[in-house]
Amino acid sequence: MRMSTSIILTLAIAIAGSSACARRPSASRVNGSDDIASEDAESGAGGGARKQGASSDGREDDVATPAHMTGPTMGPGFPENGPWVSFYGRAAEMSDLARVARTYRIINIDADPGMGNFTAAELAQLRAGGRNRVLSYMNVGSCETFRTYWSTAPASRLSCAANRAAHLGPYEGYPDETWMDLGNADYQALLLEHVAPRLAARVDGFYLDNLELVEHTASSQNGPCSAACRQGGLDIVRKLRQKFPNHLIVMQNATGDVTRLGITGGIPFPLLLDGIAHEEVYAPTHDAGAEAELLAWTAMGLTSRSRHRFWIAVEDYVGSCRNTSAARKTSARARARGFSPYASDESGGQRVVCFWD
Model pLDDT for residues 81-112, shown as the tens digit of each residue? 999 999 999 999 998 999 999 999 999 999 99
Q: Stretch 244-249: mean pLDDT, rounded?
A: 98
How many residues are present in the chain?
A: 357
Total domains in the chain come to 1
Evaluate whether 259 touches 214 at the Cβ level (below 8 Å): yes
Position 64 scores a pLDDT of 58
Q: In what order do the strands lie in the sheet with 248-252?
A: 84-86, 106-109, 133-139, 205-209, 248-252, 275-279, 311-317, 340-344
Of the pLDDT bands very low, low, confident and very high (cuts 50, 70, 90), residue 13 is very low
Residue 261 lies inside a defined structural domain of this protein: yes
3-state secondary structure of 325: helix
Residue ranges making up the domain that contains 92? 5-50+66-344
Whether 357 maps to a domain, the answer reads: no
Strands, E assignment, the chain: 84-86, 106-109, 133-139, 142-144, 167-171, 174-180, 205-209, 248-252, 263-264, 267-268, 275-279, 311-317, 340-344
321, part of any domain: yes
Q: What letter would DSSP give residue 193?
A: I
Residue 83 falls inside a structural domain: yes
Residue of 298, 217, 210, 280 whose CA lies nearest to 251? 210
Task: Report yes or no on 334 lying in a domain.
Answer: yes
pLDDT-based confidence at residue 55 (cuts at 50, 70, 90): very low
Determine the Cα–Cα distance for residues 60 and 291; give it in Å rounded to an integer.
Answer: 10
CB 315 within 8 A of CB 284: no
Answer whether residue 329 is part of any domain.
yes
pLDDT at 49: 30
Q: What is the CATH number of the domain that holds 221?
A: 3.20.20.70
Indicate whether 356 belongs to any domain. Answer: no
The residue type of 351 is R
Averaged over 234-256, what is the pLDDT?
98
What predicted TM-score, i.e. pTM, was given to this entire model? 0.84
For the stretch 124-139, pLDDT in tens is 999 999 999 999 999 9
Binned at pLDDT 50, 70 and 90, residue 71 comes out as low
Given a contact cutoff of 8 angstroms between Cβ atoms, the answer to whether 71 and 302 are in contact is yes
CA distance 26 to 42: 19
- The confidence score (pLDDT) of residue 100 equals 98
Q: What is d(CA 189, CA 24) in angstroms, rounded to the nearest whole number? A: 29
Rounded Cα–Cα distance for residues 141 and 106 (Å)? 23
Residues 46, 24 contacting (CB under 8 angstroms):
yes
For residue 340, what are the contacts with CB-CB under 8 A and spacing of at least 6? 81, 82, 83, 84, 106, 311, 312, 313, 314, 334
Burial of 328 (0-12, 13-18, 19+ CB in 10 A): middle
Question: 290 and 275 in contact (C-beta within 8 Å)?
Answer: no
Pairing of strands 142-144, 174-180: antiparallel
Q: Is the pLDDT of residue 38 over 50?
A: no
Maximum alpha-carbon separation in the chain: 54
DSSP state of 87: -
pLDDT tier for residue 263 given thresholds of 50, 70 and 90: very high
At position 175, the amino acid (one-letter code) is P
146 part of a folded domain: yes
